[in-house]
Structure 1
């Protein structure tokens, strides 16, 4: 019951801004039916606005935490109409600052010492104020200029209270909304909660900044401010102070003589480098978090800010996503369909020809345009929306990556409206992917596994002996863990021959690795390999003989 006043206020706002029309089957929500009767309708100037803009106004009136909710929700383009997602992306997380004296007290509590003992100077007038934290300028005892990011007072309690409200609304929607199984409101609330709680840990944000800085140390493309770890805790983050031009201030960029064409190309290249080289990308790359270093106009570089939301992909998703991009560059629709199925994003009963035809229908209209007018992010979004008809399953990380790509392309076209996204992205991705998947990368991964294999080597004879005993005695059992594995039953008779082939193949592979890894004389290595291959051959013969004796 303690949530009822807040729920009533939200319902009243929905009606006042005519957002009850945005909710499908709003008549199912009785509270909205009553609110329609009791609450006056929106003024004409508000009613004439697009629904996305009306939603932004309502979230802003609800308060800073709901503004943050809207920003996070904008990443879920798989759930939202495009116009609403675009409007939410434009939400500005700017709120009234709280007194600098309160920030000073919070900093002293977090660092366990008076501000004067930790900093040579501290400016109580904030540089910026957002829903989660506030930023102040300061100076270290050694003279370095820094900024201090400090959490707003009582922010955890406010977030917990609003999350509880959101969860209650999510449970209501889960019960009465006809498309609840597709929208998954409770999962969305859980995702928002996780993101917000991560942003409450400024030490985590510092770790994100530190890793991104290490990935681009001495780079000509991106600068990341240094984290001052001695003055950083979960509640306070101290960073090197940087200065630059906001990326959307085109007049200032032109006045500084910045090569905007080169800068736009670097922005696109940086995205693919972060996603596919480092598997660690800035997932909140809107114009407010990206500056430009004005000190190098001919060879400009970006400056990254705000590291609360970062993205990573699993090794499998990285592989499937990169292969999908490369197939898209080549307009190979059959391969795109095949990759979607093999990645496990689609049910196995989907017909390949139907999926390929649907993908072709999405992509072909784009390819009739000049490449400079094609948005890779737009094509990707359309592909995902089309694939949803076939029960596409995507992880939140992929949705976050998609939203980041949309932001980066937007920045690129802002800087250089005629940029050819495809021509810029394709060679970068091909080069990075070759380094990640080429022979040298494969050999490096094999070298890393050698110590593990060598440690397991003494156990191999006993394991082989136990396996042979089970085979010859008829006690070997094959347990199928899923429907996918059940298909292997039809090939069970090929299992022994396959095991022999794998044994010999693994031996040759290990010898090849040893030739590259072991720091011994060539002749000695050759002798070891000959002995190992001989042992493998003897084992294989004994294996086959044992099988034939059954």
Structure 2
């Protein structure tokens, strides 16, 4: 085993030993949010402060920082104060020196920074765990943002991911809580996210795709990439001047009517999720900027979510159900995109708990509404009942959780549920139109062409078998094993009854034969046979009356 691997394991186990018996872990696997009442938790409740966990994750490395960011949007796993502390992992890492930035740019693009740009700000605009951003000016006069990936970050992250993957697989094998919360899937999701974020060419394509999909929304801005100055480790794109949503002053919020822009933002996300199946998956307040002309800029498309057509339909049903507070519709939508054993899962308990959760979410105002958190709490309820919801639902919960925060900051009285209902009608119409596109219609025609071609021969075969009395119907609705066992049990009972009857008759006949060895005037041997037959008969009657009844 390599020295780097040993160091990774030592680092990981040191972290686990510190937090294994902490109250944070106990609350994660125990009762946090179990009654949906204990929303507030004091820092003094735990033997490790939230800030201490944040610092420890920073020391662990970039993969653990990203894991912390992922956990910061999981209220089904962590208490409220820890979620806020982990959210601070977004922007607090050491800057890459300018000399290193210049070297990476020239290696990747093949042109020195001084020749590529008229101006290049040596002080970074932002630092992140994977890279940092600089403002620059092209010779064409176009102002751009240049994102540079940290040197050696790919190797370090992949090594940490390998360690986390092995430990998660081990935990799932030996821990019920880890299995219920699909710890291995959380790590797999983290791996997928990070490997995509490490490839800036994918982010470049994501920018182009989202910009095309949202071109009708005039109050939303998505930066365009500069292809000639972009690679897998360098991404150059339009610089959009703006402020983070969270840094707006109270006066600005009071003086400006943000309802139109929030309408577009909410509708655009409904379109991304339900119509396009391609969504900006990380709309946390740090990635959403408000421009000087009061437009919203969607930044950082390293993380995107993709939803299959089938999943889009179920999510649409789920969101409609949530907007109407229809717990039955919500439960059905959840179960249709989940994996569970109907013989072992208590569906009544699941329905009851989902209904309680929905009924407790009474507010419609954005400042109190927590659509994303409610969806993530549904994931917790499902885990406790042994139901594995689709991983994409967790991503959807994360998107909605961040969207809740943005809407609440800009328009605290915004009725998000009403907005979802209003936009959903339009989304359904768009979804239908998308399915009627020529390429989709062509696939439908091909399927029906095959049906029409095969129908005559199949009908001919059916009528021929019917005429020859050879038509067979195979039905899988019956449990064949249980039915066979039942028949075998009946046959055994009949056979046993016949043997017992034969023993009684035989013993009775033997009693009529004179013998020197008697008991109460009857022969000893036939008396023994008679007693054995009576005992077996009583045992058989007991089994029929009590055992067989409990078997069905």
Q: Same fold (TM over 0.5)?
A: yes
**Which of 151, 167, 176 is matched with 2:149 structurally?**
151
Question: What is residue 317 of structure 1 aligned with on the other side?
Answer: 311
Alpha carbons 1:64, 1:95 under 8 Å: kept: no
**Which of 437, 457, 463 is matched with 2:454 structurally?**
463
Residues 132 and 478 (structure 1), Cα distance of their counterparts in 2 relative to 1, 3 Å cut: farther
**Which of 392, 397, 404 is matched with 1:402 structurally?**
397
Residues 215 and 14 (structure 1), Cα distance of their counterparts in 2 relative to 1, 3 Å cut: same
SS at match of 2:205: helix
Question: What is residue 305 of structure 1 aligned with on the other side?
Answer: 299
User: Structure 2: 5+ residue runs without aligned partners?
Assistant: 29-42, 481-552
Question: What is residue 514 of structure 2 aligned with on the other side?
Answer: none
Deviation of 1:55 after TM superposition, in Å, equals: 1.9
2:348 maps to 1:358: no
Alpha carbons 2:73, 2:401 under 8 Å: kept: no
Determine the C-alpha separation between the residues in 2 that align with 1:170 and 1:450: 44
Question: What is residue 330 of structure 1 aligned with on the other side?
Answer: 324
Residues 78 and 469 (structure 1), Cα distance of their counterparts in 2 relative to 1, 3 Å cut: farther
Question: What is residue 271 of structure 1 aligned with on the other side?
Answer: 269
Alpha carbons 2:148, 2:234 under 8 Å: kept: yes
Write the mapping of 1:131-530 to structure 2, written as runs, cut at 5 A.
131-217=129-215, 219-251=217-249, 254=252, 257-295=255-293, 300-344=294-338, 347-349=341-343, 354-367=349-362, 369=363, 373-437=368-432, 444-445=436-437, 447-452=438-443, 463-468=454-459, 470-471=461-462, 474=465, 486-487=476-477
Structure possessing the higher radius of gyration over alpha carbons: 2
2:51 maps to 1:61: no
Deviation of 1:409 after TM superposition, in Å, equals: 0.6
Determine the C-alpha separation between the residues in 1 that align with 2:411 and 2:355: 29
Determine the C-alpha separation between the residues in 1 that align with 2:473 and 2:98: 65
CA RMSD of aligned residues (A): 3.7
Question: What is residue 40 of structure 1 aligned with on the other side?
Answer: none
Residues 477 and 270 (structure 1), Cα distance of their counterparts in 2 relative to 1, 3 Å cut: farther
Determine the C-alpha separation between the residues in 2 that align with 1:461 and 1:364: 50
Deviation of 1:98 after TM superposition, in Å, equals: 1.5
SS at match of 2:89: coil
Deviation of 1:252 after TM superposition, in Å, equals: 7.7
Alpha carbons 1:104, 1:124 under 8 Å: kept: no
Deviation of 1:398 after TM superposition, in Å, equals: 1.3
Determine the C-alpha separation between the residues in 2 that align with 1:279 and 1:435: 12
TM-score, length basis structure 1: 0.73
Alpha carbons 2:75, 2:373 under 8 Å: kept: no
Determine the C-alpha separation between the residues in 1 that align with 2:465 and 2:49: 69
Greater shift, 109-118 or 14-23, is seen at: 14-23
Question: What is residue 99 of structure 2 aligned with on the other side?
Answer: 101
Determine the C-alpha separation between the residues in 2 that align with 1:247 and 1:477: 69
2:69 maps to 1:71: yes
Determine the C-alpha separation between the residues in 1 that align with 2:202 and 2:295: 25
Residues 11 and 225 (structure 1), Cα distance of their counterparts in 2 relative to 1, 3 Å cut: same
Greater shift, 199-208 or 216-225, is seen at: 216-225
Determine the C-alpha separation between the residues in 1 that align with 2:473 and 2:206: 43
Deviation of 1:334 after TM superposition, in Å, equals: 2.8
Determine the C-alpha separation between the residues in 2 that align with 1:378 and 1:453: 39
SS at match of 1:292: strand
Residues 479 and 285 (structure 1), Cα distance of their counterparts in 2 relative to 1, 3 Å cut: farther
SS at match of 1:135: strand
Alpha carbons 1:223, 1:301 under 8 Å: kept: yes
Alpha carbons 1:122, 1:139 under 8 Å: kept: yes
Deviation of 1:49 after TM superposition, in Å, equals: 7.3
Alpha carbons 1:17, 1:46 under 8 Å: kept: no
Deviation of 1:224 after TM superposition, in Å, equals: 0.5
Deviation of 1:149 after TM superposition, in Å, equals: 1.0
Alpha carbons 1:46, 1:54 under 8 Å: kept: no
SS at match of 2:269: helix
Deviation of 1:248 after TM superposition, in Å, equals: 0.7
Determine the C-alpha separation between the residues in 2 that align with 1:111 and 1:91: 30
Alpha carbons 1:14, 1:58 under 8 Å: kept: no
Residues 334 and 21 (structure 1), Cα distance of their counterparts in 2 relative to 1, 3 Å cut: closer
Residues 134 and 339 (structure 1), Cα distance of their counterparts in 2 relative to 1, 3 Å cut: closer
Deviation of 1:72 after TM superposition, in Å, equals: 2.6
Residues 139 and 359 (structure 1), Cα distance of their counterparts in 2 relative to 1, 3 Å cut: same
The number of aligned residues is 459
Deviations 1:115-142 (A, max 9, x none): 3443333333322222111212222221
Greater shift, 112-121 or 251-260, is seen at: 251-260
Determine the C-alpha separation between the residues in 2 that align with 1:371 and 1:106: 48
Determine the C-alpha separation between the residues in 1 that align with 2:84 and 2:27: 23
Determine the C-alpha separation between the residues in 2 that align with 1:489 and 1:462: 35
